[in-house]
C-alpha cells in the first residue's frame, strides 16, 4: 500500500512546515485564547450584571456567534468589515483590514462567545455566601470579582478552558479560506506543488492528532489534580 509513498518529501518539508506553518498556527491559537478569555470574561460579567440593557445585548452576541459556522464568520468579517469601517469612519474608500488582522480579530471575537459561557458557569459555581462575605467586610463589586470570584472561577474552569483551546487549535486550519499559511495550508501547498497529496495530508493529520491527543491527556491529568485539591 505504501510502496509508492515518498516519505522523503515530508522530511524535506519539515523546516517549512513547522517554522512557517506551525508557528502561525500556535501563535493564532495563543492570541485568540488569551483575547477570547479576556473578552469572554467581560461578556460573562455583563450577562450576570443587573444592568438594564447590556446583558441582553451580550446574550444576543453569544447566541449569534455560537449559531454561526466559524468559516462563515471568517468570510463575513473579511468581506464586510472594510465597508463597515468605511461607514463608521465616514471614509471615501473601504478600510483595508488585511487577512492576518482579520483572522486574529475574527477568531478572538468568535472564541469569546464560547469562553464567556465557560466563565459564566465558573462565576456561577462560586457560592453566593462568599460574595456576601466580601461585601460584608467592605469590599466593592470590583474587589469581590477580582479577589474572590474570578480567581476561583478561573481555577474551576481551567480544564474546560484548555479543552476549548484544543478545539481552537484544530479550527485554525480554517484560515486556508483566506490563503494564509498555517500548518495545514503549508502542507497543502507542498502537496500540490510536489503532487504528494496522500503523504502530506496523512502527515498533517498525524501531527494534529498527536498534539491534540497529548494536550487532551494533559487536561485530564490537570482535571484529576484539581479534583483531588478540592
Dist. CA 18–CA 25, nearest whole Å: 9
Query: The CATH number of the domain where 117 resides is what?
Result: 1.10.3720.10
Higher-confidence residue: 230 or 196? 196
Q: What pLDDT, on a 0 to 100 scale, did the predictor assign at position 3?
A: 60
Dist. CA 60–CA 189, nearest whole Å: 39
Q: What pLDDT, on a 0 to 100 scale, did the predictor assign at position 230?
A: 59
Alpha carbon 162 to chain centroid distance?
Answer: 10
pLDDT, one tens digit per residue, over 44-58 is 999 988 888 999 999
Residue 22 located in a structural domain: yes
pLDDT, one tens digit per residue, over 54-83 is 999 999 999 999 999 999 999 988 888 888
Domain that holds residue 122: 8-229
Q: What pLDDT, on a 0 to 100 scale, did the predictor assign at position 223?
A: 87
pLDDT, one tens digit per residue, over 169-228 is 999 999 988 888 899 999 999 988 888 888 899 999 999 999 999 999 999 998 888 776
Residue 2 located in a structural domain: no
Q: What pLDDT, on a 0 to 100 scale, did the predictor assign at position 134?
A: 86
Q: What is the 3-state secondary structure (H, E, C) of 98-141?
A: CHHHHHHHHHHHHHHHHHHHHHHHHHHCCCHHHHHHHHHCCCCH
Q: What pLDDT, on a 0 to 100 scale, did the predictor assign at position 67?
A: 95
CB 73 within 8 A of CB 65: yes
* Structural domains of the chain, count: 1
Output the nine-digit C-alpha cell for 57: 445585548
Residue 217 located in a structural domain: yes
Residue 1 located in a structural domain: no
Q: What pLDDT, on a 0 to 100 scale, did the predictor assign at position 131?
A: 84
Name 81's Cβ contacts closer than 8 Å, sequence gap at least 6. 95, 97, 102
Dist. CA 142–CA 135, nearest whole Å: 11
Q: In which band, very low, low, confident or very high, does the pLDDT at 38 lie, cut at 50, 70 and 90?
A: very high
Amino acid at each position: 500500500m505504501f510502496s509508492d509513498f515518498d516519505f522523503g518529501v515530508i522530511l524535506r518539508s519539515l523546516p517549512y512546515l513547522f517554522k512557517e506553518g506551525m508557528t502561525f498556527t500556535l501563535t493564532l491559537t495563543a492570541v485568540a485564547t488569551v483575547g477570547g478569555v479576556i473578552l469572554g470574561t467581560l461578556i460573562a460579567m455583563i450577562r450576570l450584571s443587573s444592568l438594564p440593557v447590556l446583558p441582553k445585548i451580550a446574550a444576543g452576541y453569544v447566541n449569534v456567534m455560537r449559531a454561526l459556522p466559524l468559516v462563515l464568520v471568517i468570510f463575513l468579517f473579511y468581506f464586510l468589515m472594510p465597508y463597515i469601517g468605511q461607514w463608521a469612519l465616514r471614509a471615501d474608500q473601504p478600510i483595508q483590514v488585511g487577512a492576518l488582522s482579520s483572522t486574529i480579530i475574527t477568531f478572538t471575537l468568535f472564541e469569546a462567545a464560547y469562553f464567556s459561557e465557560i466563565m459564566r458557569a465558573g462565576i456561577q459555581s462560586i457560592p453566593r455566601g462568599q460574595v456576601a462575605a466580601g461585601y460584608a467586610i467592605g469590599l466593592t463589586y470590583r474587589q469581590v470579582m477580582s479577589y474572590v470570584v474570578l480567581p476561583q472561577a478561573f481555577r474551576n474552569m481551567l480544564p474546560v478552558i484548555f479543552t476549548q483551546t484544543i478545539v481552537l487549535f484544530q479550527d485554525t486550519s480554517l484560515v486556508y479560506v483566506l490563503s494564509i499559511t498555517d500548518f495545514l495550508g503549508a502542507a497543502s501547498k507542498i502537496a500540490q506543488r510536489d503532487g504528494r497529496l496522500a503523504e502530506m495530508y496523512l502527515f498533517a493529520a498525524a501531527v494534529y492528532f498527536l498534539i491534540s491527543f497529548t494536550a487532551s491527556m494533559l487536561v485530564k491529568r490537570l482535571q484529576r489534580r484539581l479534583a483531588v485539591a478540592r
